[in-house]
Amino acid sequence: MKSLQGKIVIVTGASSGIGRATALAFAHEGARLLLCARRLERLEELKQALLDTGAPGVHAFELDVQKRAVVEGAIAELPTDWREIDVLVNNAGLSRGLSKLYEDDPENWEEMIDTNIKGLLYVTRAVVPGMVSRGRGHVINLGSTAGYITYANGAVYCATKAAEKAISEGLKIDLMGTSVRVTSVDPGMVETAFSSVRFHGDEEKAEKVYQNITPLQPEDVADAIVWAASRPAHVNIHNILMTTIDQANSMVLHRHS
Ligand code: 8X3
């Protein structure tokens, strides 16, 4: 039997990058997938890809995690056979801009804080009570090396990931005495649309970020997430800090000549 056979896994921000790879990796282990993101057409494409590879069940729905009432409604109104969520992967997140704090556009801050912190909190608040009452569950949050060491021009993005770290630790403490686990998976540079989104679609600038290094791939991170989720029920992996071999931390990078 596959390690996560029949488990219900919800992945936020599932339409691309780490979220998409995570959905595929969980399906490979026999899990049923609840996919959500803002871009429904992309989710429908992923749903088809998952079903084509023999995924046991997929339900996709549009969700903007920044909207609290929408999040609460979407989780409360899940089809009956999709309500008993076993694993929540709080993956939805983004960076916007790379500039000095005192010169940055506050709109960038709003979007990062609303998605990376408040969105994560809203989904957690909506899903975790069910896990507690069923006596099983696992919350896996996406952190970052940026949550450990703040880098130049990234104060607010780094702050959101430091908040994610604190929230994961706090949630773990608050869940003591229950069977619900909390893990933070904290990657460094991963080759996704992350930099393109950060630079508002400037692909040339985005490509330079990954030049002359071998970045992590979304599948590498998905692999760590599924590994954490497939440990025996009494084992809690608190965090997984992972980078490419070319990165030591959020400040130290080795570019090949
Ligand atoms: C992504 C890692 O260093 O590009 O969270 O900000 S970094």
With a 6 A CB cut-off, is 188 part of the ligand 1 pocket? Answer: yes
From 52-56, 187-191, 227-231, the region with the lowest mean pLDDT: 52-56
With a 6 A CB cut-off, is 108 part of the ligand 1 pocket? Answer: no
Does pLDDT of 199 surpass 90? yes
Look at residue 2 in the predicted model and tell me its pLDDT. Answer: 84
Query: pLDDT tens, 237-257?
Result: 999 999 999 999 999 999 998
Look at residue 1 in the predicted model and tell me its pLDDT. Answer: 75
Atom from ligand 1 closest to the CA of residue 154: 6
Average pLDDT over residues 111-120: 98
CATH 3.40.50.10190 assigned to 8-242: no
Look at residue 257 in the predicted model and tell me its pLDDT. Answer: 85
From 2-6, 119-123, 134-138, the region with the lowest mean pLDDT: 2-6
Q: Smallest Cα–Cα separation from 226: which of 128, 140, 124?
A: 140
Three-point CA angle 170, 62, 163, nearest 5°: 20
Distance 146 CA to ligand 1 centre (A): 6
CA distances to 72, 197, 209 from 84, rounded to whole Å, are: 15, 33, 40
Distance 37 CA to ligand 1 centre (A): 21
Query: How much is the ipTM here?
Result: 0.92
Distance 81 CA to ligand 1 centre (A): 37
Give residue 36's identity as a one-letter amino acid code.
C
Confidence of residue 135 (pLDDT cuts 50, 70, 90): very high
Alpha helices by DSSP H, 29-119: 40-52, 68-76, 106-112
- Identify whether 151 is a catalytic site residue: no
**Cα dihedral 180→130→43→66 (10° resolution):** -90
Instruction: Retrieve residue 244's tokens.
Output: 């490419």
